[in-house]
């Protein structure tokens, strides 16, 4: 969470209670992280709840900073890199090597109505990219780069393109917050100066 907060205006806050269904969203997204079935293997599932809410199901082996950041990126609207329509220009998916229950994670997404993902550049270094043997059933590769010079290893953090995409996704909200904060600071300064002036003794010379 700290990693995402440092490079954007996204702010994560702890809440004690689940917000009521009737509560109006104010640009907020409620995220509940849980593991009700006590899953051990590193898998993550994003489920949409009511309104602006999301449930992240994380396996116990997904407790690294990279895996948690990957899951939070899903909650913020970023897909797995291998699901982008342009992926076939860069990698080949080895379907027979993928565990059957995880094959849907490799399906290319339909970007109709989602212009942001349709135009997104493919990034093999992204924190949203699987490594070359992710979800393998036999130890063989599940993703093979078409360019042999590319090595698909587990990501260690956000790539430069990840950072750029996060900035682009939230820049309007960030700019709006900056303007609102500036207005609020100016208002507070004005009130403080007015109060100081009002409490000063002023000599008035009669005409």
Domain locations along the chain: 2-14+28-178
Q: Terminus-to-terminus CA distance in the chain, angstroms? A: 66
pLDDT of residue 23: 53
**How does pLDDT run across 119-136, given as a tens digit for each residue?**
578 999 999 999 999 999
> Is the domain 2-14+28-178 a CATH 3.40.390.10 member?
yes
Q: Does 159 score more than 90 pLDDT?
A: yes
**pLDDT given for residue 119 in this prediction:** 58
The β-bridge relationship of strands 143-145 and 91-93 is: antiparallel
Question: Distance between CA 44 and CA 81 in Å, rounded?
Answer: 15
Displacement of CA 173 from its chain's centroid (Å): 14
- Identify the three-state secondary structure at position 126: coil
The pTM of the full predicted model, rounded to 2 decimals, is 0.75
Q: What is the pLDDT of residues 169-180, one digit of tens each?
A: 888 877 777 777
Q: What is the phi/psi pair of residue 35, to 5°? A: -150, 70
Q: At which residue do the structure tokens 């070359």 appear?
A: 132
């Amino acid at each position: 969470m700290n990693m995402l907060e440092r490079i954007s205006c996204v702010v994560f806050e702890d809440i004690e209670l689940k917000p009521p269904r009737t509560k109006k969203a104010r640009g907020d997204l409620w995220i509940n992280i849980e593991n009700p079935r006590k899953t051990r293997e590193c898998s993550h599932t994003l489920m949409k709840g009511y309104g602006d809410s999301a449930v992240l199901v994380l396996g116990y082996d997904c407790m690294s900073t990279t895996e948690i950041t990957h899951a939070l990126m899903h909650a913020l609207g970023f897909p797995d890199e291998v699901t982008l329509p342009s992926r076939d220009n860069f990698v080949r998916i080895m379907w027979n090597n993928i565990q059957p229950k995880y094959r849907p994670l490799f399906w290319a997404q339909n970007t109709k109505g989602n212009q942001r993902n349709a135009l997104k550049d493919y990034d093999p270094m992204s924190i949203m990219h699987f490594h070359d043997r992710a979800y393998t059933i036999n130890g063989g590769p599940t993703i093979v780069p078409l360019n042999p010079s590319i090595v698909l290893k587990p990501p260690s953090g956000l790539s430069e393109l990840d950072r750029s995409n996060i900035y682009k996704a939230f820049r309007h909200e960030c700019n709006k917050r900056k303007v609102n904060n500036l207005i609020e600071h100016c208002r507070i300064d004005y009130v403080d100066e007015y109060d100081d002036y009002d409490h000063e003794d002023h000599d008035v010379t009669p005409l």
